[in-house]
Structures are given as C-alpha cells and as structure tokens.
Structure 1
C-alpha cells in the first residue's frame, strides 16, 4: 500500500536517510525505533508529504489514506466541545446531518413533496454511512482515552495540551485511515489509556506505524520493528523483544564478518607492502590492490547499549525513617484528592506511584516535596535531602550556559574531567559538553536535568514522568543510574518497563487513600489480575489492603545450609571462570600469532616449517574450543547458583 524506495534526505549537510527503502503492507503493525536525532519523526513527515525527499520516491496506492498524530497537535485550540471536535472525523456524515436538520426545519412551515424526497435521499445516505451511531462511537473512544461522560461537552480549549492530544487521537482513530502514523502516542496517556490504545491498535483494520520509546507498548502492539540507523531502515519481523534477540544475533554475525574481513585486509596489505618492490610479484601485488578496491566493506558494529559507570554519591546518610504522612487530606474546592490517609517511606525504598491521570499523583509528589498545603501532618526524617525532577525543571535550565557550566552551577567540587564523565554517562561526548543549552532538543535537555539531579548528591529523589521525550538508550541510562543509586526515591511514570526495572514498591491512590503494594510492578500486575478475578467471582470488591497479600509473594524454598553451600560453590566457580577467561585470552593470542604466521607467504616455501605451524594452529584451535566450552559451562552453573545464593 505504501513503498519507500531509495529514500535520501539531508538535514543541512548530514544525511538522515541514504537510499533507504521500506514497503508497508495492509495490516502491518510497525514500531519505528532509533536514537534521538536519527530521523524517526522526519520519516513520518516525509510519508505525509510535509517534507520533500532529496532523492528516491515515496509512493502509495490510490486507496491509501493516511492519518498522522504528531506533537504539534498539543497546541491546537477550539471553543467547540471535545465531543464535537472528535466527531469532525465524520465529515460527510456531519454535512448530511446538517442538511437533514435544515430540511426538517423547513418542512415545519413549508411541507412539500420535493422536501420529502430530499429528506429520504439524505437519510438513506446517512443510514448507509452508519450515521446514527457516530456519536456513540465518538463517546466510546473518548471515554476509552480517559474522559468522563460529563466532560464530553466541555470546550477543547479548557483542557491541557496532553488532554487535547487525546482528543486529536480520538478524532484520528474515528477517521480510520488505511495507514495510521502515531508519533510518541503514550507520552500523554496514563496506564489505563495506554492499555486501551494497545487493544485498539491490535484490532485496527488498517496498517499502523508507531514511533515510541515504550517497550511494553511496542511488544503488545507491533509485529514489525523498523530501526532507523546509519541512514537506513533495518527491518525486523517481530515485536520489540524479538528485535533485541535478533539484533544481538545479527551483530554477532556482522562482528565476525567485520573481523574476518579486517584480518584479510591486513594480510593483503602486508603482502602488498612486502612485495610491491619485487618485479616477479608485480602481477600478484596488482591483483591484490584491485581486490581491495573492489571490496564491499563490512561496517564495524557500533554498540548502542550505553553503560553508566559513574558512581552517584550521597552527601549525607539519612536516618531509617525518610518520610511520613499522618491523617492527611487534600482537596481543590469540591474535588477531593486525599482523605485522612497515611503513608510511610523507609531508607532504601524505591517507589513507583502509578494510576490514571487525575487521581492526584503529581499532587502527592508536591505534598512530599512540601510545596502543596495540606490538612494533617507531614514529617521529613533526619538528614534527608531531596531533589525534585519534573518537566518544568527543563525551563529552569539556563539556556545561555554550556552543558558543563550548567553542572558546575550545582556547586559541586568535582573536576572538569569528572563532570565530563558524568555527561558522558548521559550520552554527551567530546565537544558536546560545550554546546549551549538553548540548542538542545527536548530529550537532550531532559538528560541534562537528570544529570544535575543525580549530581546534587541528594539522598531522596522525587521524579515526575522522567522518561518523557527520552529515547530508549536514554531510558536505559536512567534505569542503570537509578539501579546504582543508593538513596530513596518516588517516581511517577506510565512507562511500565521503566517501572518494572526500578521500583521495589508500588503506590497508587484509590478511594482517596494512598495504598501500597510491597513488591515489584510485575508482581503488582499479577496481584491485580487475581484481585479482579475474585471481584468477578464474588460480585463484590475486595476491601483488604494490598499489604496483607504478602503471603502471595513467592517464598524462598532453599534452606540456610543449602544457601551457604551454594555461596561457597559459587565463589569457587567465579574464580574458575576468571581463570578460564585468562586461558581463553592467552589461547586467542596464540591462535592470532599462528594465523599471522600462516598468512606469511614465505612459510609456504618451507614445508617442514609450514607443517609445524599448521599443527600448532590446529592444536591451539582445539584447545581454544575446549576452553570456551568449559567457560560457557562454568558460566551457566554460575548463573544457576546466583539465583539460589
């Protein structure tokens, strides 16, 4: 239905796309991924015709209609109700409805056969278009996206940008284009809405292309991953989890091909250098020069799995009790958020605060930070120093500062080399650190603000939607930073993969109370599913607090004696793994040395010497294979014991 052939597009002198190709078929569910700045959103704009390619073609079939949800729609305003804005998707139906109303109005005072015929004609077409159900369809989608029934008649302009984006998404879904383009659709959705959109996209009749950094969303929605990398569109037939596995395999194959090719190039270059002055070897030398010129070079594998290797330190060690709320109530006029509720945080708690929008998650963060007035008692523990990250923190960055100056203003005693190292952890390398804040993208500014927060050496962090506008590599960096962080934090996030990686407790607001599940997000989801199943069976909601379901958590089945024995064996195995790694490294060097000898043309003139080297090569190759097998076996046993230790 749509073909991209040999697409080239330049941003200044930089090629975002260089002869890239992709074919989209009906019912394809494509997840478009890649680092920030690689051109994902640009590709969507090229497809809809907002940008013109510098080379190649984008062609679509005559019956292919395209719908595009982009971040520009955040600023769209209208005085019409959100229901009417969404129903603008039914353009022809709305025209017919207006004509029907006009005819009926005229018939009240001027009844004529001509009007009866006209009304019958309009009503026949209106019914054929299923016009009598359009309002019900619009209401269903808007409510699925989180709007309450009483809000459907509220003017669009009274909603914030994120809620307006939901209305525009509803309008787009109602239009049902044959190709749906969604640019970061989950950025402004809460968890229930994300799950609703997932289900809708899975059952969508047309094709879908989604730009998203939400791994769970991609896993649940798409059957194809297209990675934008190196100016190309790399195709993977599966969801995001399949892509991770397949890319690892492809990288291994490519790395092997690259290393083999580089070895062959080195051997050829050595031959050319050695014999280029000998007339008797001129033909062979010339042949090898031509073979190098014609060589189709294999690209080196670039590892895009960023690693954080900076240790984030705490200025002071807090007491055991970090934070406590007692008998707290909060309301905005008649809208109650919290009513006589309690909450407690201990040192080392990693809490994810989840749930639907409008429940009061951001309000609770502000209450914890002390910037929101409350009824009741708020108590901060001994030596607790907190830092607060929210989207408005980006506006607090000094746009005239360079990145390194912005970090210096934290009053840290770290050297420039250490500051550069921190920025390097957040993907700012070499001269990037001297860029001014004002030239950075939204995602890059988010990374700077996060680096500043972690550099603050606070022992208690509050983070409100920290993954918004971050690409997957940046989200991975933040996950690693938080996993290394030794303090306490509360995070509001709708990114389920992120939450599952960083939280050891789940908070949610229900019935105006702060409730806690004492486990990971994945355990919380299972508990909620069991809870919902019991509700359906009993016909009534359960009332017990989630903290009472500790018995549902898996209990250790290994005795202390067995665990101690496992730990001792694990220590020995880890030492054995280290020895084997040294042995493998030594054998690989011996193998490389013998390969180099075999690559020397002179060795073939001495049969005895050649046989000796060949035998040595076969011997070391066998030893290397055995050492690798032993290392792999030891590693598998280590992994098995680590689960018990």
Structure 2
C-alpha cells in the first residue's frame, strides 16, 4: 500500500534518517516508537507530503487516501457546530443531499419524468453511501471520545484547543482513510475516551500508524512496532510489550557479537604488531590488515533504559492524617461537582484519581490543596509540607534561567553535584544543564518542573497529569522516582502504565461522591469488571415497582409562558456563548504575554499575570457551568412544549 525506500532526511548537517526503509500493508496497525528528537513526527509529515525527503522515495498505491492527526490542528477554528465539522468527513454524501434538496425544490413546479428519474437516481446513490446514518455515526464517534449529547450543536470555536483536537480526531475516524496516521492522539483524551479509541482502532478496516507515549494504548491497538533509532527504521512483528522483550534479546545477541568481534580484532592487531617487521610474515600481516579494513564492525549496544536512584529528604514526617475532607460540597452554580462527601488521605497513601473529564478531578485536587473554596470542612494534618505540580507551572519557569540555575533557585539547599544527579535522572546530562529554559521543548520543560517538585522536600505531593508531554523513557523514570518516594501523594492521570506502576489506592468520583478502592489499578479494573456483571436490580436497595411518570402536558396559558421562558433562556444562552468566546480571547492574550521572555525579568508583573490567568480560568469554569445548566433547562422546556 505504501513503501518507503532508502529514505534520507537531513536537518542542517544532521541526518535524521539515512537510507531508511519501511513497507506499510493494508490493515497494518503500526506503533512508531523512539526517543524524543529521533524524528517520529517528521516521518509522518514526510509520508503526508508536508516535508520532502533529501533522497529516497515514498511510493503510494493508486487510490491510497491518508488521514493525519497532528498537533498543528489545535489552532483550527470554525463557526460551525462540532457535529457539522465532524460531518464534513462525508463530503460526497453531503453534496448528494444538497442536490436532492435542489431537485425537491424544482419539483414544486416541475413534475416531469426526467426530474423524477433524477431524484430516484440521487436517492439511490445517497442510500448506497449510507446517507441516512451519517448523523448517527458522527454522534456515536463524538460521544465515544467524550462529548455530551447537549454539546454537539455548540460551535467549535467555543471549545478549548484540546477539545477541538478531539473533534478533528472524530472527523478523521469518520473519513476512514486507507492510511490513518495519529501523532500523540491520547494527549487530549481522558481514560474512557482512550479506551473507546483503542476499540475503534482494533476494528479499523484500514492501516494505522500511531505515535504515542502511552504504552498500554499501543499494546491494545497495534500489531507491529517500528523503532526509530540512529536514522534507521527497525520493525518488530508484535505490540509494544513484544517489542521490549524482542529488543532485549536482540541487544544481548548484538552485545555478544560485539564482544566476540572486539576480541578477534585485538588478537589480529597483536599479530600485526608482533610480526610487522618480519619479512617472512609480511604476506600474512598485509592479509590481516586488509581483513580489518574490510570488516563490517558491530556497534556496541547503548542501553537507553535508565535506572534512577533518588534520595528524597524530608525535614520532617507528616502526621498519620495528611488531609481530611468532612461533608464537603462543591458546585459551580447549578452544576454540582461534590455533594456532602467525605474522604481521608493517610501518610503513605499513593493515590491515583481517575475518571472521565468533567467529573471534577482537577477541582478535587485543588480542594485537597486548600486553594478551592468549598462547603464543608477540609483539615490538613500535622507537619504536612505540600508541593503541587500542574501544567501551569511550566509557564512559571524563568525562561532566561539555565536549567541548573532554575534548580538552584528552587531553594532545596542541595549542592550542585546533588542537583546534577537529579537532573541526570531526568535526562539532562553534562552540558545540557546549562541550556536556557527558553530553548527547551514542552517535554523538557515538564521534566524540569517535575525535577523541581521532587527536590522540594515536601512530604505530600499533588500531581496533575504529570506524564503529559513526557516520552516513554521519561514516564518510566518518573515511575521509578515515585516508587522510591516515601511520602504521600495523589495524582490525576489517564496513563494506565503510570497508574499501574505507582498507585496503592484508586479514587474516582461517582454520583458526586468520592469513592475509594483500596488496592492497585489492576485489582480495581478486575473488581469493576465483576461489578458490571452483577444485575442492576440486585444493586438497588429497593426493588419495588416504581409508579410510571407521565409527561406533563401544558395548557394554553402555561404553553405561552413556557415559550416566553424559552425565548428568555435562549437569549441568556447567546450572551453566555459570547462570554465564552471573550474568555478564549482573553486567555490567548494572557498566554501570549506569559510566553514573552521580557515578562520574566519583572517578577512582580509575572506574579500578577499568573494570578490573573488563574482567576480567568476559574471564572471561565463558572461560565461553562452556567452554559451547561441553561442548555439542560432549554431542552426540558422544548420537550415539554413539543
């Protein structure tokens, strides 16, 4: 279907690829893996035709269509509803619908056989294209990746970048190209949405090439792994776990071959040195010199798996109770997040807070931190020292600082040698520590912010999506660090590999209550699957028949009042949607200011902008909550008067 032959691609004088080859067959499910900077995303862009190779060929079979999800789509905007944007996947069918509508309009005045036959032909084509089901398909995919039904008619421009990316993913899945290429598709998905996409890709009729740092996602939806390393593409005929095992075996074989060859080379060199001056051995010496020159050298194995050994130091241990929540409630207007719920975090707890987006995980994390106002009581235990890691901390890094400088200013009182050791664990070695923050990638900034969190000497860590922007190697390093951490932590994450590696308790929010499972993630998944097998009736404390609830019918006076209320609420909704757009614009303006290096030279301005940005986010959440309540009320009124 698609063939890459002798591909070379240079950036400046550096070869990103050199004589690399790959063949993609129909229905292949390929995971593209490798360290950051090896060129995974670049390869996808070369296949898509965005970049031209320095040499070599990318050949496609005739009729091969390509769909490409990449991070550039974050900036895509549209006035259309997200449902209509997703329906753009069915361009041909939509065009047929337009032609049918035009013919029906024409038939108002023209009943000729020619027009009737034209309509019948168009309708047959429309039905053959499954035109009557495209809306249902689009709704199914959008809801599968996390959208509520009531959001489907909301304009795309009112959603944040991450949610817009979901819409573009839905559109691509509906287009069903022969080759679907996905660059970090799980970055903007919650756990239920990731699992839905996994199932979709397993049954996808075409070929798939995916770049992802989510190991379990790869394990669940690929059957071939292609490693990008040293400018070459190496294929392994299995999923990511198979690749790890197979690579380990190949490395052992290669290392043995390298050592045997080195021993042979040394023996040959000793022979040459010993008999170089003897005329009787000159032919043998020359023969061995030529043999060494012709020798195809085996490279020594470079193991990119790093073992870390953190020495966490606490100035003091916390008391037994770290944080206690007692009869806590939290709502944004009529949108209830928590209702009269209680929970306790004890010393030594390693908690993963999981679940779908919109359930209030980040809100709960802020409540535990003590920065979110609530009804009820939050009590922090004795000697608790907190450290909160979240994505906005990347923006708080001083872009003019060098990495080592930033670590020194974190105030941990560690020596430069100790700080270099910590940075080494986060893949910053040798001269890397003198890089300016401003030149780092998103993943590198994440590693710096995480390193700062780790040296804070806090005995209680709060981590909000710590694996975002990290590659697999960095995620494994973080897992090792958290395993060695002797304090208490709670983390929000959708990365199952990370959760599986660090958590001894699982929290989730259900029916506005904090629920706890006292065990590992695998135990929780098994328990949950068993719960789903229990008939719904047996879970109810009261199995008595419930009276039938009939739909209330309005009389004429009530109907008129309901229509007035509906009009009023629709006007309110329009105003709120305008507010949402304004919030998006204000956030963009603030983000642009926060990205300005000059701001970091003025600490007062930086603090003021960060406070303004956080305040804006909270206000935006409240407005979004109002929007959801209004949409629900409008739907109820429409149903009542219909």
TM-score (norm 1): 0.82
The 8 Å contact of residues 97 and 126 in structure 2, kept in 1 or not, is answered as yes
Cα distance in 2, alignment partners of residues 523 and 94 from structure 1? 47
- 1:476 — aligned with what? 476
The 8 Å contact of residues 412 and 457 in structure 2, kept in 1 or not, is answered as no
- 2:75 — aligned with what? 75
Matched, 1:205 2:205: yes
Could you say what secondary structure the match of 2:86 adopts? Answer: helix
TM-superposition CA deviations, 1:185-218 (whole Å, max 9, x none): 1111111111111111000000111101111111
Cα distance in 2, alignment partners of residues 364 and 61 from structure 1? 52
The 8 Å contact of residues 272 and 285 in structure 1, kept in 2 or not, is answered as yes
- 1:501 — aligned with what? 501
- 1:176 — aligned with what? 176
The Cα of 1:540 is off from its aligned counterpart by 5.0
The Cα of 1:106 is off from its aligned counterpart by 3.4
The Cα of 1:22 is off from its aligned counterpart by 0.7
- 1:567 — aligned with what? none
The Cα of 1:33 is off from its aligned counterpart by 0.6
TM-superposition CA deviations, 1:260-308 (whole Å, max 9, x none): 0111111111111222122222111111111111010111111111111
Cα distance in 2, alignment partners of residues 98 and 373 from structure 1? 52
Matched, 1:94 2:94: yes
Could you say what secondary structure the match of 1:287 adopts? Answer: helix
The Cα of 1:116 is off from its aligned counterpart by 2.7
Structure of greater Rg: 1
The Cα of 1:5 is off from its aligned counterpart by 0.7
The Cα of 1:118 is off from its aligned counterpart by 3.0
The Cα of 1:110 is off from its aligned counterpart by 5.1
- 2:187 — aligned with what? 187
Instruction: Tell me the C-alpha RMSD between the 2 structures.
Output: 1.4
Cα distance in 2, alignment partners of residues 187 and 51 from structure 1? 24
- 1:632 — aligned with what? none
The Cα of 1:504 is off from its aligned counterpart by 0.2
The Cα of 1:109 is off from its aligned counterpart by 4.8
Cα distance in 2, alignment partners of residues 438 and 285 from structure 1? 56
The Cα of 1:130 is off from its aligned counterpart by 1.3
Cα distance in 1, alignment partners of residues 490 and 174 from structure 2? 37
Matched, 1:25 2:43: no
- 1:414 — aligned with what? 414
1:281-300 map, 5 Å: 281-300=281-300
The 8 Å contact of residues 186 and 194 in structure 2, kept in 1 or not, is answered as yes
TM-superposition CA deviations, 1:445-480 (whole Å, max 9, x none): 110110000011111111111111111100000000
TM-superposition CA deviations, 1:545-578 (whole Å, max 9, x none): xxxxxxxxxxxxxxxxxxxxxxxxxxxxxxxxxx
Could you say what secondary structure the match of 1:89 adopts? Answer: helix
TM-superposition CA deviations, 1:13-39 (whole Å, max 9, x none): 221111111101011110111111111
The Cα of 1:543 is off from its aligned counterpart by 7.4
- 2:221 — aligned with what? 221
Cα distance in 2, alignment partners of residues 457 and 543 from structure 1? 47
Cα distance in 2, alignment partners of residues 393 and 167 from structure 1? 27
Could you say what secondary structure the match of 1:199 adopts? Answer: helix
- 1:510 — aligned with what? 510
The 8 Å contact of residues 319 and 347 in structure 1, kept in 2 or not, is answered as yes
- 2:457 — aligned with what? 457
Could you say what secondary structure the match of 2:235 adopts? Answer: strand
The Cα of 1:114 is off from its aligned counterpart by 4.2
Cα distance in 2, alignment partners of residues 332 and 107 from structure 1? 53
Cα distance in 1, alignment partners of residues 389 and 519 from structure 2? 24
TM-score (norm 2): 0.83
Cα distance in 1, alignment partners of residues 43 and 117 from structure 2? 49
- 1:435 — aligned with what? 435
Structure 1 residues 542 and 25: alpha-carbon distance in aligned structure 2, compared to 1, 3 A threshold: farther
Cα distance in 2, alignment partners of residues 351 and 256 from structure 1? 43
The Cα of 1:530 is off from its aligned counterpart by 0.5
- 1:603 — aligned with what? none
Structure 1 residues 543 and 245: alpha-carbon distance in aligned structure 2, compared to 1, 3 A threshold: farther
Cα distance in 2, alignment partners of residues 517 and 373 from structure 1? 26
Cα distance in 2, alignment partners of residues 373 and 49 from structure 1? 51
TM-superposition CA deviations, 1:301-352 (whole Å, max 9, x none): 1111111123122232111110011111111111110000111000010000
The Cα of 1:102 is off from its aligned counterpart by 2.3
Cα distance in 1, alignment partners of residues 423 and 394 from structure 2? 16
- Show structure 1 runs of 4+ deviating over 4 A: 109-114
Could you say what secondary structure the match of 2:524 adopts? Answer: helix
Cα distance in 2, alignment partners of residues 336 and 482 from structure 1? 33
Cα distance in 2, alignment partners of residues 414 and 370 from structure 1? 28
- 2:338 — aligned with what? 338
Structure 1 residues 543 and 303: alpha-carbon distance in aligned structure 2, compared to 1, 3 A threshold: farther
Cα distance in 2, alignment partners of residues 511 and 290 from structure 1? 77
Matched, 1:485 2:498: no
Structure 1 window deviating more from structure 2 (403-412 vs 113-122): it is 113-122
The Cα of 1:121 is off from its aligned counterpart by 2.8
Cα distance in 1, alignment partners of residues 332 and 27 from structure 2? 46
The 8 Å contact of residues 479 and 498 in structure 2, kept in 1 or not, is answered as yes
Cα distance in 1, alignment partners of residues 475 and 225 from structure 2? 18
Could you say what secondary structure the match of 2:256 adopts? Answer: helix
Cα distance in 1, alignment partners of residues 82 and 541 from structure 2? 36
- 1:530 — aligned with what? 530
The 8 Å contact of residues 531 and 542 in structure 1, kept in 2 or not, is answered as no
Cα distance in 2, alignment partners of residues 29 and 100 from structure 1? 39
TM-superposition CA deviations, 1:75-97 (whole Å, max 9, x none): 21111111000000001111111
- 2:130 — aligned with what? 130
Matched, 1:269 2:269: yes
Structure 1 window deviating more from structure 2 (306-315 vs 521-530): it is 306-315
- 1:570 — aligned with what? none
1:535-574 map, 5 Å: 535=535, 538-541=536-539
TM-superposition CA deviations, 1:36-61 (whole Å, max 9, x none): 11111111001000011011111110
Could you say what secondary structure the match of 2:17 adopts? Answer: strand
The 8 Å contact of residues 142 and 167 in structure 2, kept in 1 or not, is answered as yes
1:311-460 map, 5 Å: 311-460=311-460
- 2:230 — aligned with what? 230
Cα distance in 2, alignment partners of residues 543 and 244 from structure 1? 48
Structure 1 residues 205 and 254: alpha-carbon distance in aligned structure 2, compared to 1, 3 A threshold: same
Could you say what secondary structure the match of 1:59 adopts? Answer: strand
